Chains A and B, each alone.
Chain A
């Protein structure tokens, strides 16, 4: 699998992971879990606006919002995640997706290969069940973005 359909920020994250040894990759995932931003106030008090990704082993909720880009023409998608501190692996992957995809356009997000989580080099250290949760998280984002994009056009 090549990384050439990945948006630049996500490709950079994948490169960072691939350059590391396995224990260092887990450490990096932990850093992403710490870096996952808190929900903004308007979502914090409205859990009903978030959807649960049931495939994740730990409770993981997400939603997207659209925003007009600076050029006034294109639309970017903002990503929001909520995962408990006691689920660092799930949070870590949410952090990767947030840093790699937040604010991008529908076509950029939809071009990400569905099995992108496997590019992080964690398939030995993390159980297949959890890897599937990660894939499901990406799949949910893509489905939501595709649906929102169809409505706009």
Chain B
């Protein structure tokens, strides 16, 4: 049974308000015993593999993007059996309401949510503002690691096509909008990695031809929550020139920051066809015979 959806003014303006919960809502749900009795599963997903262990929301389980969601040998996500085993171990059933939160304005939380969506998990929501907001508000943390009763999760085949783009899909997508969510320095090709992050080994710097540059963090407010619908529209319809109904692909360096933007486009602005290109710049910047554009201009559709 899905847990009731949060109603508030900010969320109700979004296309799919049921995809977000506020810290107040989560605190009240915890208070009412929703996690304890298994109606709600709270998942923390961070960039730092040890952050959960330093303290987390009471009752929250940890899912690590690197060790839990990636397949070790195929450079892909886990398969249906792997995901079912993971979900069961975390006390998640197919009909569970799952709320995900994490560090850095929910980068990795949005990424985890996107992977849950590849498996068609129906009720998965993001905690608006994530870990930092919860802590900034002085809410309770614990280092107690819960041992949930095993969930019941069937083996579901991953359905990549609706929300995941591969390199070939991007090549076939030219003429439709692309959003590059990396930093301006990565977009222009001045650097191939995030400021203050190490060189990732991409051979060339620049962006995919025609991509608009909208760094992911511009969709977030100061406190790490998503901006209001009005502000998001100004950003994506105004600056990025998207039109309602567009078929959009977002990308970054490895697909994690673009999951945050994917969430905004899909659930907050209501684009039906928006995909995350998780190969992103680490693949595109190294691939043989794919076109790139250097500099601040978007560039034009490459000749076939």
Contact = CB atoms under 8 A, between A and B. Distances in A.
A55 interface: yes
Majority secondary structure of chain B interface residues (helix, strand, loop or mixed): loop
Contacts of A89: 48-51
B4 interface: no
Contacts of A19: none
Interface string B194-205: 001110100000
Interface string B47-63: 11111011000000000
B223 interface: no
A50 to B, nearest CB: 15
Most B Cβ at <10 Å: residue of A54, A129, A130, A132: A129
Contact of B198 (A55, A86, A87, A88): A55
B50 A127 contact: no
B76 to A, nearest CB: 16
A92 B50 contact: yes
Contacts of B196: 54, 57, 59
A44 B43 CA distance: 36
Nearest to B132: A86
A26 interface: yes
A88 B66 contact: no
A148 interface: no
Interface in A18-58: 26-27, 29-30, 33, 54-55, 57-58
A124 B72 CA distance: 9
B34 to A, nearest CB: 27
Nearest to A23: B67
Most A Cβ at <10 Å: residue of B53, B67, B198, B200: B198
B67 A88 contact: no
Interface in B63-103: 66-67, 72, 103
A86 B67 contact: no
A88 B200 contact: no
Interface string A116-142: 000000001111011011001000000
A26 B53 CA distance: 10
A1 interface: no
A30 B50 contact: yes
B54 A88 contact: yes
B220 to A, nearest CB: 17
Given A55-B198, A127-B66, A133-B198, A86 B51 contact: yes
Contacts of A90: 48
A85 interface: yes
Contacts of A87: 48, 51
Contacts of B48: 57-58, 86-90
Nearest to A92: B50
Given A26-B50, A57-B197, A89-B48, 10 more contacts: A26-B49, A29-B50, A57-B48, A88-B50, A124-B67, A124-B72, A126-B49, A127-B49, A129-B197, A132-B198
Top 4 closest pairs, chain A to chain B, by CB: A88-B50, A55-B198, A132-B198, A89-B50
18 contacts: A26-B53, A54-B196, A55-B198, A57-B196, A57-B197, A59-B196, A85-B54, A86-B54, A88-B51, A89-B48, A89-B49, A92-B50, A124-B67, A125-B67, A126-B49, A126-B66, A127-B49, A136-B198
